[in-house]
Structure 1
Amino acid sequence: MDIVRLLVEIYAVDIAENDSSGECALFHVARGYHWWHVHQALPYLLDMGADISMRNEKGQTPLHMALQGGRRVPSPYNWDAAKMLVQRGADVNAVDNKGQSCLSYARHDADMIKFLIEHGAVVVVDSIFAAIDSRNAEVLRALLSGDLDPNTRRDKLPLETDDGSQNKTIEPHEEYPLYHAASKLWPHYSPSEKSYQDATKAMEIVQVLLDHGADPFAKFLKVVIPVERKSDFSAAINSSAQVPEGYVECTLLHEVLLNGYIADTFLEFPGLDVHHRDAKGRTLLHMVCESTRGPDHILGSHAKAANLLEEHVHSFQRLLSLGADLTAQDNFGHNVLHYMLVGEKEIEPIVRAKFFAYTLQNAPKLLNQGNCHGETPLHYAMIRAVERHEVGEAQMLLDAGADPMIISKRGDTMLHKLGKGIAVAGLRTFFKALAECGIDINARNNRGETALFSFYDHSKTLEDSWILEEVHRPTGQHVKPLLEKLGGDFFVRDNKGRGLLHAAARGDVERFQELLEMGLDPMMEDDAQQTAIDVAAACGNRDILELFEKKK
């Protein structure tokens, strides 16, 4: 300290001189690395006229520095520095260039939060998000003890975090504190002591927000992918307000369930409205079935002592116990069975069978119930079979009495849905069994297409398909003989005059070539005077075009 006095009083060193970061000596002592920095140098510099409101290139004041403390280096005296700066007149409501307040910087210490509020700090939403990020329920309670509405949303970007929890499809100004808190409750496949602790803290944060009036059914906008924008059912989406192009209205808890976040705190919250529907008419039960985690999440499984649970209650069962309607349909006519058969969820067959059995025992009418397109759960099971190269769910539904003869309003039979995947041996066998049950392989849908179009109008076989088990490995070499045996018409044309070669021109050259060998004409024009070669050229399918270049 004597050296500091010598430099200032004898050698007239400018105490306001900045370093390369735009910080003078006051910033460095405010961090509180050493006792003498705070209790000797800090008051001395202030007495000598150091500007307590000075800012560095990031817009931070010395008070920000003190509250930030030693994020990288231990800083045992930073709280003392912060209190001294406040008592000497520092602006407790100063914000940095990112809009982060002093309360946000103090998010790790409830006592400091209270101290700042007592000295005039105004609670703003950025400090709420900061407390959530720090998983500090005590700080959050202190912040919410004032008049700030827990449903307030931010209008500026939060401090960058490295936990990867920021949801990129939800813009910062649309995100509610409650959703931000819930998004930190992602289940760990290999839980550790830290993950157990983090989950417990995050659930307490959610509970604090709910206790202070956070709305689990608050609505917000989410960016959607282009495919979703072209929905055929926009009239069935009942948004609460005008939704801009490229967005969809979401309901907070529905989105939490959809994303597979641990929602135990919500499902145990007194008075939860289990019948609440989002803009698409989906109930909470629909959402746990559609969830990436599926309906089999066990309440309490996030806890370290999960193996000691006396009873395993799934989220599906919990909602039913609260009065959820098992037979509810959304605005598009989907029921819970439809929702169990969509998405990337991983559920053990025995567990899925359990949910199917319960649903069909208590609501048997759902088995053959169609959505607005007339597609039953079995249609969805066929689509899932193609995506996952296995027919387990479809077989479960058939065993339960699902009607394979039902045709959708688009005219699609079960063979139309399954046809895309019959390059896979297991699906091919299932396709054969369905055809032998009486489904017409040459039945046309509303576009005039038969099930053969589904197979030939398909993308190229994946080059890395060799890594799959043989039964799941796509190969078209056994398909043509099967389709011939089943009486498939290879010279069929759809409502626009397109033949199978037109369909195959977008896919594998092998499938295209086998059709040529059967005598199909590549120069046959459709109603738009386009040949299969024209289609291949428009798609840039060089493999098929080279067949004709070689002939020249």
Structure 2
Amino acid sequence: MRRSLKKMLRPGEKKEPRDFVCLGVEDHKDNSNDFKVVFEGNKCGLQNFVKKQKRLKKYDDVNASPLHHAAEEGQVELMEMIVNESSCEVLNVMDDYGNTPLHWAAGKNQVESVKFLLHKGANPNLRNCSMMAPLHVAVQGAYNDVMKVLIEHSSTDVNLEGENGNTALIITCFTDNSEAMQLLLNKGAKPCKSNKWGCFPIHQAAFSGAKKCMEIILKFGEEHGYSRLSHINFVNSGKASPLHMAVQSGDLDMIKMCLDNGAQLDLLEKGKCTALHFAATQGATEIVKLMVSSYSGSSDIVNEVDGNHETLLHRASLFDHHELADYLISVGADIDVTDSEGRSPLLLATASASWNTVNLLLSKGARVDIKDNLGRNFLHLTVQQPYGLKNLHPEFLQMQHIKELVMDEDNDGCTPLHYACRQGVPVSVNNLLNFNVSIHSKSKDKKSPLHFAASYGRINTCQRLLQDISDTRLLNEGDLHGMTPLHLAAKNGHDKVVQLLLKKGALFLNTALHFAAREGHAKAVSLLLSYDADVVLNKQQASFLHVAIHNKRKEVVLTTIRNKRWEECFKVFSHCSPTNRCPVIELVEYLPECMKVLLDFCVMPSTEDKSSQDYHIEYNFTYLQCPLEFTKKGAPVQDIVYEPLLTLNAMVQHNRIELLNHPVCKEYLLMKWLAYGFRAHVLNLGSYCLGLFPMTFLVVSIRPGMAFNSTGIINETSDHSEILDTKNSYAINFCMILVLLSSILGYCKEVAQIFQQKRNYFLDKDNAAEWIIYTTSIIFVSPLFIRIPAYVQWQCGAIAIFLYWMNFLLYLQRFEKCGIFIVMLEVIMKTLLKSTIVFVFLLVAFGLCFYVLLNIQDAFSSPFLSIMQTFSMMLGDINYHDAFLEPYLKNELEYPLLSFVHLIVFTLFVPIVLMNLLIGLAVGDIAEVQKHALLKRIAMQVELHTSLEKKLPLWFLHKVDQKSIVVYPNRPRYSRGIIRGVFHYIFCPHETRQEIPNVDTSLETEIMKQKYRLKDLGSLLEKQHELIKLIIQKMEIISETEDEDYHSSFQDRFKKQQLEQRNSKWNCVLKAVKAKTHSLKY
């Protein structure tokens, strides 16, 4: 039945009208006109309406049918016509809210419509989207006549649950509908059925103040064997009795009714609270008086405790119900009882700022020496609140037992002065100091009140504490961990407090900079450095700069670099520490962007005009290499190894290409190259050429395939000797001897490198090439001494001459002019080989297929030859005429169609797609290739200079090493001369000297301008703030801002400003006036 209803009443389904509702009504009228006949009710209209049966399925905006509207208006005759001309399902049709026509009729108190619908078979138990049945709707609207009709129907469920599980019987309690309740009870409604909250009708009646319904329920219970005493004490799922519910509603008459019927005052709900606790929480004095006066039990109901062991006086004190507290004390409430946390009513009232109750309890003689579980007394809690001790009556402050609390300590050894300093309440600090409290008192962790004030940034409190001190002992006392107030302020970034402590004479000791650097407080670091703080190492052999670098505090490092003491800061480190190395090396590894700024500071251009011949740039190399005296001094003492070019090697190790490209690094490498690198490399290249050029002369002068020795050339094929040309025989012998000697020297060099480099030697593939070169060269010239077959000799010669010249390229890559191209060639070749390995299977596939199709041809006669021919075709040598066209014309192709198809596929895949793909992979990202090639070339230069410096004597390095260099960009770098110029152009670095970007680029300069402007505005606002404070003091206006000593955190200031902007601008004036009135009152 539901499915048919849903199909008939699909939401949003609208059909075009095709007929008339009544005479004279056109088809294009609004949909609302279709229901006018329902409201008019005339007989003519009704008859015409029913004749047009298609109108019976027309719906309005909420998907309500004509039957809904007819039931709502009480048009029984029309309802009968609609039902008779429709199916029975129309009786239970639902609108968009789930309401049936029976809901509409019940909601409008249409008794006749309800009777008709029930008679026709409407379901009275259908619930709408709010889980309300027609019976619930009728009860909620107090339509008792409709309700009578519904409950008289045999199919109506009087115990059906509605919204939130409320039955019709519970709903009658909402409006105290006693008549409806009686009818429901007579029809079998169950008063023991609860809603989803576990409440029975008696609980709802008590909460709603439904006294008539309450009486009916109690009588009904008596009739069914439940006495009033037991019924009135029924509890719900939360174990709350009707009396608890009545107290929550605050209905005094209902509470009296519950008490008159025997409600128990000592019943505990789920939270172990009695009804009296609820009343005390609300501050309902009259209700408490009523319940206390009506209690006749033997227990002390006034001092009954809840689950937290809180009494009624605790509840009244918590919410400052002082009148109720006064009454409870008058009827015997224990004024000093404690709860589960050890708090008396006085402590609880103080912690919640219930000052009326606090003054009342003090006047009643409450004990002030009681402590909670944390060891805090009444005074500890008082000084934490705004206005502090000013909230108490002056006469209480003169009591001796209160004055004795000022030096009382909690479980952590903190006095009330410690609490006031931590919370930043200057008024409380002033009051406590007036009691002659010692500011040198220490907590268990050896912290004084000044430690707390400095740690939390309470600038006003610090000023007050330091106002009367005569020495700096308090300033420089350390806590249990050796932390002074200055350390704590620097650690938490309270720069104003740091400045105050420094002015008052705080000593730096060893770690103030460390804590400021670790937390990233750059301003505090700058302030400490400006006050000449010593840059020292901590127990871990780390300076403050190490701490900042390891914690990635970029702002701290940049502030240090820009400080005038930056050189001093970078020189402080331990040579023996394995983790805290030289700060420059740490910068390269952790903060390369800061290292770039440091290198920028090493570039010092002159003040002359840039186009002048005298314009020069000085490059400082101090931070690129460990000084030679450190190397000489440090190495023998301990196992300390200072590698040459330490900073550049770190840059290579961590791939810092942007640092290696910095002009300072380039000039440093150029200085090393011109000093000894160029000479050493040319010498090495010259020794290599002693074998290269004679080997080349031998290969060019002697015809390949001929066996030769020192006396002549022997043709192996004819077995007769040909005498050597006397003109060239001596030159050939000489060259053979040179090749032999250079190869032997090469062996010696390689053996020496094995002992020097050890395992690293075998990881370099270039060393294997040199071994092959020397071995094949010796075999090639060995006929000087022994007889070797010609084919072996000339194969070794081919390998030797090939590797000789290929290895010569590796020697040339040391030179900048041609080295970059050689390195790029190597990188691109690696990329090409990696991709080719993947596609070799494609080559095998086509090669074997051609072998099957074209094996009659010589080029494809074997699988190997076929694959090699396919490789040649891949490069473009397809040989279409000889391999395909001519055999096809001569009918020599065994599989012509498949052969041509395979050729087309091969041409598309290999020469076009594959070759372009390989080329694209190899050279597509040329910028990335250049970047890696540049890094590798510079890495090779660094490696060359590092290995050379290890071998060169110290006196020579002292002679050629330079700590700085001055370059004149507008003058020629090298001496004049055509030959010398060409030589330097080819073999020496050719540099296009680019302008060094200034530390402050245009964007950075603009940001710095805005930063300085904001600083000026901030200082101006601070001055105005101080001026306004002076004006307020002169006018004797006390503002809340004076009583709050918040730390100067920017985030907290910003949040506070946002909150203050939501209120009126006059709020501060009103608060000041109220504070003035408050102070005059006392």
Q: TM-score, normalised by structure 2?
A: 0.36
Q: Secondary structure at 2:129's aligned position in 1?
A: coil
* Alignment check: 8 A CA contact 2:455 2:488 kept: yes
Q: Equivalent of 2:314, from 273, 283, 286?
A: 286
* Alignment check: 8 A CA contact 1:285 1:324 kept: yes
Once residues 355 and 410 of structure 2 are traced to their aligned partners in structure 1, the CA distance between those partners, rounded to angstroms, is 27
Q: 1:119 to 1:219 in 2, by over 3 A?
A: same
* Alignment check: 8 A CA contact 1:254 1:287 kept: no
* Alignment check: 8 A CA contact 2:429 2:461 kept: no
How much has 1:422 moved relative to structure 2? 5.0
Q: Where does residue 449 of structure 1 map in the other structure?
A: 447
Q: Where does residue 205 of structure 2 map in the other structure?
A: 131
Q: 1:268 to 1:546 in 2, by over 3 A?
A: farther
Q: Equivalent of 2:330, from 312, 321, 336?
A: 321
- The one-letter code sitting in structure 1 at the alignment partner of 2:354 is K
Equivalent positions of 1:196-345 (< 5 A) are 202-212=251-261, 216-219=265-268, 249-253=271-275, 255-256=277-278, 259-269=281-291, 270-271=294-295, 273-289=301-317, 291-294=318-321, 296-297=322-323, 315-345=324-354
Q: Secondary structure at 2:476's aligned position in 1?
A: coil
Once residues 413 and 292 of structure 1 are traced to their aligned partners in structure 2, the CA distance between those partners, rounded to angstroms, is 27
Q: Secondary structure at 1:82's aligned position in 2?
A: helix
Q: Where does residue 415 of structure 1 map in the other structure?
A: 417
User: Is 2:477 aligned against 1:515?
Assistant: no
How much has 1:64 moved relative to structure 2? 1.0
Q: Where does residue 515 of structure 2 map in the other structure?
A: 531
How much has 1:215 moved relative to structure 2? 5.0
* Alignment check: 8 A CA contact 2:283 2:316 kept: no
Q: Secondary structure at 1:293's aligned position in 2?
A: coil
Q: 1:153 to 1:263 in 2, by over 3 A?
A: farther
Q: CA deviation digits over 1:234-255, x for unaligned, max 9? A: xxxxxxxxxxxxxxx5524575
- The one-letter code sitting in structure 2 at the alignment partner of 1:449 is K
* Alignment check: 8 A CA contact 1:419 1:431 kept: no
How much has 1:179 moved relative to structure 2? 4.3
Once residues 484 and 99 of structure 1 are traced to their aligned partners in structure 2, the CA distance between those partners, rounded to angstroms, is 72
* Alignment check: 8 A CA contact 2:274 2:306 kept: no
Q: Secondary structure at 1:454's aligned position in 2?
A: helix
Q: Where does residue 85 of structure 1 map in the other structure?
A: 150
Q: Where does residue 1049 of structure 2 map in the other structure?
A: none
User: Is 2:190 aligned against 1:122?
Assistant: yes
Once residues 515 and 265 of structure 2 are traced to their aligned partners in structure 1, the CA distance between those partners, rounded to angstroms, is 56
Once residues 252 and 151 of structure 1 are traced to their aligned partners in structure 2, the CA distance between those partners, rounded to angstroms, is 14
* Alignment check: 8 A CA contact 1:381 1:394 kept: no
Q: CA deviation digits over 1:420-452, x for unaligned, max 9? A: 35553x334213213xx2x32111112222111
Once residues 517 and 242 of structure 2 are traced to their aligned partners in structure 1, the CA distance between those partners, rounded to angstroms, is 56
**Kindly, what percent of the aligned residue pairs are identical?**
18
How much has 1:373 moved relative to structure 2? 4.6
Q: 1:258 to 1:482 in 2, by over 3 A?
A: farther
How much has 1:7 moved relative to structure 2? 1.6
Once residues 328 and 110 of structure 1 are traced to their aligned partners in structure 2, the CA distance between those partners, rounded to angstroms, is 46
User: Is 2:112 aligned against 1:45?
Assistant: no
How much has 1:525 moved relative to structure 2? 7.8
Which structure has the highest helix share of the two?
Answer: 2
Q: 1:282 to 1:18 in 2, by over 3 A?
A: closer
Which stretch of structure 1 is more off in the superposition, 331-340 or 173-182?
Answer: 173-182
* Alignment check: 8 A CA contact 1:512 1:544 kept: yes
Count of aligned pairs: 427
How much has 1:121 moved relative to structure 2? 1.6
How much has 1:419 moved relative to structure 2? 2.0
* Alignment check: 8 A CA contact 2:522 2:559 kept: no
Q: Secondary structure at 2:301's aligned position in 1?
A: coil
Q: Where does residue 111 of structure 1 map in the other structure?
A: 179
Q: Where does residue 96 of structure 1 map in the other structure?
A: 162
Q: 1:376 to 1:22 in 2, by over 3 A?
A: closer
Unaligned runs of 5+ in 1: 70-76, 155-172, 186-201, 222-248, 298-314, 361-365, 462-473
Q: Where does residue 4 of structure 1 map in the other structure?
A: 79
Q: 1:320 to 1:41 in 2, by over 3 A?
A: same
Equivalent positions of 1:395-414 (< 5 A) are 396-401=395-400, 402=402, 403=404, 404-414=406-416
Equivalent positions of 1:464-543 (< 5 A) are 475=460, 478-479=463-464, 481-482=466-467, 484=469, 489-504=474-489, 505-506=491-492, 508-517=494-503, 518-521=505-508, 524=511, 531-534=515-518, 536=519
Q: Secondary structure at 2:306's aligned position in 1?
A: coil
Q: Secondary structure at 2:81's aligned position in 1?
A: helix
User: Is 2:60 aligned against 1:58?
Assistant: no
How much has 1:405 moved relative to structure 2? 3.3
Q: Where does residue 244 of structure 1 map in the other structure?
A: none
Q: Secondary structure at 1:18's aligned position in 2?
A: coil
* Alignment check: 8 A CA contact 2:247 2:278 kept: yes
- The one-letter code sitting in structure 1 at the alignment partner of 2:343 is H
* Alignment check: 8 A CA contact 2:347 2:378 kept: yes
Q: 1:394 to 1:430 in 2, by over 3 A?
A: farther
Q: 1:550 to 1:183 in 2, by over 3 A?
A: farther
- The one-letter code sitting in structure 2 at the alignment partner of 1:136 is A
How much has 1:85 moved relative to structure 2? 0.9
Q: 1:422 to 1:88 in 2, by over 3 A?
A: closer
Q: 1:509 to 1:131 in 2, by over 3 A?
A: farther
Q: Secondary structure at 1:320's aligned position in 2?
A: helix
- The one-letter code sitting in structure 2 at the alignment partner of 1:116 is L
Q: Where does residue 363 of structure 2 map in the other structure?
A: 357
Tell me the C-alpha RMSD between the 2 structures: 3.6
Find the structure with the greater CA-based Rg: 2
Q: CA deviation digits over 1:292-313, x for unaligned, max 9? A: 133x23xxxxxxxxxxxxxxxx
- The one-letter code sitting in structure 2 at the alignment partner of 1:204 is D
Once residues 354 and 25 of structure 1 are traced to their aligned partners in structure 2, the CA distance between those partners, rounded to angstroms, is 64
* Alignment check: 8 A CA contact 1:501 1:522 kept: no
Q: Secondary structure at 1:478's aligned position in 2?
A: helix
Q: CA deviation digits over 1:108-128, x for unaligned, max 9? A: 112322322232222232534
How much has 1:99 moved relative to structure 2? 1.2
* Alignment check: 8 A CA contact 1:516 1:522 kept: no
How much has 1:515 moved relative to structure 2? 3.2
- The one-letter code sitting in structure 2 at the alignment partner of 1:284 is L
* Alignment check: 8 A CA contact 2:476 2:507 kept: yes
Once residues 519 and 506 of structure 1 are traced to their aligned partners in structure 2, the CA distance between those partners, rounded to angstroms, is 17
Q: Where does residue 430 of structure 2 map in the other structure?
A: 429
How much has 1:42 moved relative to structure 2? 1.0
